[in-house]
Amino acid sequence: MASSGIPPGGPPLTEDEAEDLLRCICFKTGPPRTIGVEVEWLLHELRDPRLPVPSRRLASALDTVRTLPLASALTFEPGGQLELSSPPAASLMECVGTLSADLRAVRDALGPLGLSLGGYGVDPWHAPRERLLREPRYDAMELVLARNGPAGRAMMCESASVQVCLDAGLEEPGPLGYHRRWQLAHLLGAVLVAAFANSPLHGGRRTGWRSTRQALWTDLDPDRALAPPDLDGEPRAAWAAHVLDTPVLCVRADEGAWAVPEGLTFREWLRTGRPRPVDEEDLRYHLTTLFPPVRPRGHLELRMIDAQPGVDGWIVPVAVTAALFDDPEAAETVYRAVKPLAEYAGSGAAPRNPLWLAAARDGLADPDLHAAALVAFPAALEALPRLGASDSVQRAVAAFHERYVIPGSCPADELRKVTS
């Protein structure tokens, strides 16, 4: 019998039901208790990272890594980037310890194969990379994102990040309230872009950006990669409206290629029921195809930080972000410091507004972002002992503060010097 092209699902979803569901699942409030992190890595030749890794060899290495017994979830991005997603942890140190152990296991498996993990926001030497994952999702994604130029393919195949996941926060107002944390994420997020920028090169050339990865996001689908336009309004309502008014990336099918309708918003799909009726799983899947700098998934997923250099460089942005969000005193201090940046941002949505563009282009050489970082990092350092951070983590953050933040620099500046 011929396939219907409709994946098995639940009953058709109405527009009101979709709005109610989004309000329930995207901001799950309560005291901040857990933290998670997702780290992405480029794979390079151990003897010389400038040498390209043949696709077959890369695929074989990924098959080897898949056999490892890891506590973190292991996935791969379309270009073969390796991603580890920690389980939700009850403390910063539990999160760091779990992911550190898994990364050691991955490196120990890759070393004998002559490969290493590279911590760069985008591949400094190789562009374009071939897409290794041939799946309907990524076929549809590449087709849709290509409508806006080459940035989509580069994002899919040549970029890597550190993504910090934090609880949404309390229902009540205050430094740990979810509304405050939502606003803080979009203002402090620009400071995090600037401080941890680590992608000034792409395909062997200087790009003019300190975070080329963030620059790529500004060139993606203008709806899919933006924050909701109204960050001062009620977050649940603003996010629900944003989700429903964003065009559908694809319509899944049980066989064959997935449809990629152009300009069909999820709201229109709900109202028309074409090309087929919508169910709850379609809505949940649609959420995974939105890529704003801060994505609410029950918790808040901060997606704006470049992958960091070194074996343990990823720990610093995780520790700083956790301290500034989950310690009430630090959260209040940094909110006062970044609140004036709202005027700098203007009325445009991140990451396309002037604040975020300056963060990606100039890093902490921008005086306003530098001033905010000079408040944020000391506040984080004071908070880390209260969060139970180890001496080694505190020392790593202090060293980063001294090396980069105080002089108004970032890892991208050193990478540009090394490769000049």
DSSP string covering 51-120:
SPPPHHHHHHHHHHHHTS--SSEEEE-TTS-EEEEPPPBSSHHHHHHHHHHHHHHHHHHHGGGTEEEE--
Q: Residue 9's pLDDT is what?
A: 65
Distances in whole angstroms, Cα of residue 230 to Cα of each of 21, 181, 284, 348, 349:
20, 15, 22, 9, 8
The pLDDT tens digits for 268-308 are: 999 999 999 999 999 999 999 999 999 999 999 999 999 99
**Cα–Cα dist 420/416, whole Å:** 6
The pLDDT tens digits for 334-354 are: 999 999 999 999 989 999 999
**Cα–Cα dist 260/107, whole Å:** 38
pLDDT over 70 at 2, yes or no = no
What's the chain's average pLDDT?
94
Q: Residue 210's pLDDT is what?
A: 98
Q: Residue 370's pLDDT is what?
A: 98
pLDDT over 80 at 419, yes or no = no
Q: Residue 232's pLDDT is what?
A: 85
The pLDDT tens digits for 119-174 are: 999 999 988 778 888 899 999 999 999 999 999 999 999 999 999 999 999 999 99
H helices present in 159-301, as ranges: 178-195, 212-218, 235-245, 266-272, 280-287
For the residues 184-206, what does the mean pLDDT come to? 97
Q: Residue 7's pLDDT is what?
A: 52
pTM to 2 decimal places: 0.95
**DSSP-derived secondary structure letter, 196:** T
Which residues are bridge partners to 302 per DSSP? Answer: 164, 294
For the residues 229-250, what does the mean pLDDT come to? 93
The pLDDT tens digits for 353-390 are: 999 999 999 999 999 999 999 999 999 999 999 999 99
Query: Which CATH code fits 15-409?
Result: 3.30.590.20
